[in-house]
Amino acid sequence: MPSTRDLRRRIRSVRGTQQITKAMKMVAAAKLRRAQQRISEARPYAETLSRVLFSLAERTEHVHPLLERRQRRSRAWLVVVTSDKGLCGSFNGNLLRLAERELRSGRWEDAEVVAVGRKASDYFRRRSFKVAHEERDLMSRLSDEASHRLAAMFIQAFTSGQVDEVWLQYNSFFSRMRQLTRLERLLPIEAPAAGPQPPEATVDYLYEPDAAALLEALLPRHVATQVRRALVDSAASEQAARMTAMDAATNNASEMIDGLTLQYNRTRQASITKELLEIVGGAQALQE
């Protein structure tokens, strides 16, 4: 049985850990509010741009290389977006297991990984999968320049014939308690889900300068917008998962402190009782 000194030391240690988890939860909550604001700005723009883009593509006979659907789909890049840091529960583990399952499923004959985030980089370095590119510290310093740079790399690989498809796998923010793992095709560009069409959808427009020039300007911007949305979504999901994990850790620490305190009181009471019995026994022995 541990002594009262050992129990006091453990209680102080758990309280110190509890203070750290409380602070991390508050930091994650502050970062989550900023990330939610970025999502609220990025999602409507990405969805509107996608609708406008495919409305334009359906109205013109011009074929852009980014819309080309190739007969073969043997070569692909799977872009796996994780965090740079841990302490966020199963946020990274679930995503990486699903990514490995996709790579082993036979969907592509030759698949390479683009690891975004230190956790994805470390995970695939220890396995036999081909890693085409790594971004180890991108999620800690998320910027528009990084999303444009990645989008340009994906476009160059696709248009040059290096790959036939580019897929994104990331965690999408749904709520503070729920994050959804998504697998989306980035290239070739996929049409949005069909919905109710307004009456003016069948009416053609006048283009200035022309439809081909508009597609040439909009399609690369669309790719960059989708990459940025995935990165921002993943960043918000990371903070939500970390806040949930730190809240659970704080509650567990409280329960552990209560249990250790109860054990400390019992040990202390048993020690006092033992000393009293020794005193009473000594007094009776002297009397006899």
- Please identify which residue in the block is written with the tokens 């580019």: 166
Q: Is residue 179 part of a domain?
A: yes
Amino acid at 7: L
Amino acid at 18: Q
| Catalytic residue ranges | 88
Beta-carbon count within 10 A of 80 CB? 29
pLDDT at position 42 is 79
Q: Is residue 35 part of a domain?
A: yes
Which segments in the chain show pLDDT lower than 70?
1, 57, 59-62, 73, 191-205
d(CA 126, CA 84): 16
Q: Is residue 58 part of a domain?
A: yes
Domain count, the chain: 1
Closest CA to 116 of 149, 80, 92, 140: 80
pLDDT at position 237 is 93
Q: Is residue 188 part of a domain?
A: yes
Q: Is residue 18 part of a domain?
A: no
Q: Which two tokens stand for residue 149?
A: 């740079």
pLDDT at position 16 is 95
d(CA 135, CA 206): 42
Provide the CA 233 distance to its chain's centre, in angstroms.
Answer: 7
Name residue 75's beta-bridge partners: 110
Q: Is residue 2 part of a domain?
A: no
CATH code of residue 62: 3.40.1380.10
CB 69, CB 185: distance < 8 Å = no
pLDDT at position 199 is 47
Q: Is residue 258 part of a domain?
A: no
**Could you list the residue range(s) of the whole structural domain that residue 171 is in?**
23-193+204-244
Name residue 172's beta-bridge partners: 180
pTM (2 d.p.) = 0.83
- Please identify which residue in the block is written with the tokens 């508009």: 214
Q: Is residue 231 part of a domain?
A: yes
pLDDT at position 278 is 83
How large is the C-alpha radius of gyration of the chain? 29
